């Protein structure tokens, strides 16, 4: 009969947490989507700037393009939105 020691249980729990964090941090952005990234923690945005250009907390200037992307879920929140295409000769508002 096999008895699991406390180290085996600890290793299994840590492995499950690591695998769960990896899958929750991996985002699949479709070919007609973009990912908007919001950083949860960091320095406050200067002035009335709504977009973070230097890694401050808030909406990040860089979007996630289509593909499989990784952003650690405890630090970043990613929302998917449809890619807006403006036809040639027209103006998008």
Range of the domain at 72: 6-82
In this predicted structure, the answer to whether residue 41 has a pLDDT above a threshold of 70 is: yes
Instruction: Classify residue 59: in a domain, yes or no.
Output: yes
CB 69 within 8 A of CB 26: yes
Residue 88 lies in a domain: no
52 is a domain residue: yes
Q: Does the structure show a pLDDT above 90 at 92?
A: no
Q: Phi and psi (nearest 5°) for 66?
A: -55, 140
Average pLDDT over the chain reads 91
- The number of folded domains in the chain is 1
The answer to whether residue 40 is domain-embedded is yes
In a domain, 65, yes or no: yes
Give pTM, 2 decimals: 0.76
Check residue 64 and report its DSSP letter. Answer: B
pLDDT digits (tens, 9 = 90+) for 6-40: 888 899 999 999 999 999 999 999 999 999 999 99
How many percent of the chain have pLDDT more than 90?
68
Residue 15 located in a structural domain: yes
């Amino acid at each position: 009969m096999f008895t699991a020691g406390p180290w085996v249980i600890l290793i299994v729990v840590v492995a499950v947490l690591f695998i769960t964090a990896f899958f929750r941090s991996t985002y699949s952005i479709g070919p007609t989507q973009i990912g908007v990234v919001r950083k949860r923690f960091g320095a406050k945005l200067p002035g009335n700037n709504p977009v973070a250009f230097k890694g401050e907390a808030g909406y990040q200037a860089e979007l996630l393009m289509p593909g499989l992307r990784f952003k650690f879920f405890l630090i970043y929140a990613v929302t998917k939105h449809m890619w807006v295409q403006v036809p040639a000769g027209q103006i998008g508002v």
